Amino acid sequence: MTKPQILQVGPYPQWDEEPLNAAFEVHRYFDAADKPSFLAEVGPAIRGIATRGELGANRAMIEACPNLEVISVYGVGYDAVDLAACREKGIRVTNTPDVLTNDVADLGIAMMLCQSRGMIGAEVWVKDGSWSAKGLYPLKRRVWGRRAGVLGLGRIGFEVAKRLKGFDMQISYSDVGPKSFAEGMTFVADPVELAKNVDFLFVTLAASAETRHIVGKDVIAALGAEGMLINISRASNIDEESLLEALENGTLGSAALDVFEGEPKLNPRFLALGNVLLQPHHASGTLETRQAMGKLVRDNLEAYFSGATLPTPVL
Q: What is the DSSP letter of 37?
A: H
281 classed as catalytic: yes
Catalytic residue among 234, 240, 290, 298: 234
HSE toward the beta carbon, residue 244, CA cutoff 13 A:
13
Q: Are strands 186-187 and 254-257 parallel, antiparallel or unpaired?
A: unpaired
Closest CA to 258 of 228, 278, 288, 238: 278
Catalytic residue among 52, 146, 163, 281: 281
Pairing of strands 70-74, 200-203: unpaired
Dmax (CA) for the chain in angstroms is 72
Is 234 assigned a catalytic role? Answer: yes
- Cα(284)–Cα(290) distance, integer angstroms: 7
Distance CA 215, CA 183 (A): 25
Q: Which of 193, 263, 269, 302 is catalytic?
A: 263
- Terminal CA-CA length for the chain: 28
Give per-residue burial for 264-294: e unless 16+ CB within 10 Å, then b.
Answer: eebeeebeeeeebbebebebbeeeebbebbb
Closest CA to 105 of 148, 144, 70: 148
Catalytic residues, by residue number, are 234, 263, 281
